[in-house]
Amino acid sequence: QVQLVESGGGSVQAGGSVRLSCVVSGYPYSTVTLGWFRQGPGKEREGVAAIYSGGSPTYYADSVKGRFTISQDRAKNTVYLQMNSLKPEDTALYYCAAGAIPPGVAAAWALAPKPYDYWGQGTQVTVSS
């Protein structure tokens, strides 16, 4: 059984930082792309960042480039999202997801929800001004 469990969310003031973690277990394939998505109030789910299981390539939404960093620890089966310089518009429920997406795909595909097969339950991040 595939499980993705996020942690690390919380409330922070604008300009602050938060690190999210996602532990992945039971994934049936040796290679995987792991992604972070978010869904704000009244908004559609959007891709934030993604990373192939080999560590590269990585993909970022334009809205978070230079502020967010995705990384992984394969020994711990964990993917992280370091979020710096947070803004109120970053407030959302953040999900991690896993999919059999090969490396080198277009960023728009790697950051779309459709190709991901497995999802976590989400962790809330609230940024106050």
Q: What is the pLDDT of residue 72?
A: 94
- Measured between alpha carbons, how far is 53 from 40 in angstroms, rounded to an integer? 27
What are the φ/ψ torsions at residue 26 (nearest 5 degrees)? 80, 10
Strands 78-83 and 118-119, by their bridges, are: unpaired
pLDDT of 45-104, one tens digit each?
999 999 998 888 999 999 999 999 999 998 999 999 999 999 999 999 999 999 999 988
Collapsed DSSP state (helix, strand, coil) of residue 71:
strand
Band of residue 31 on the pLDDT scale cut at 50, 70, 90: confident
Judged against a pLDDT cut of 80, whether residue 116 lies above it is answered with: yes
Q: Which residues pair with 37 in a beta bridge?
A: 47, 95
Q: What is the pLDDT of residue 36?
A: 98
Per-residue pLDDT, averaged over 31-49, amounts to 95
Average pLDDT, the chain: 95
Q: Which of the residue ranges 18-22, 25-29, 104-108 would you say has the lowest mean pLDDT?
A: 25-29
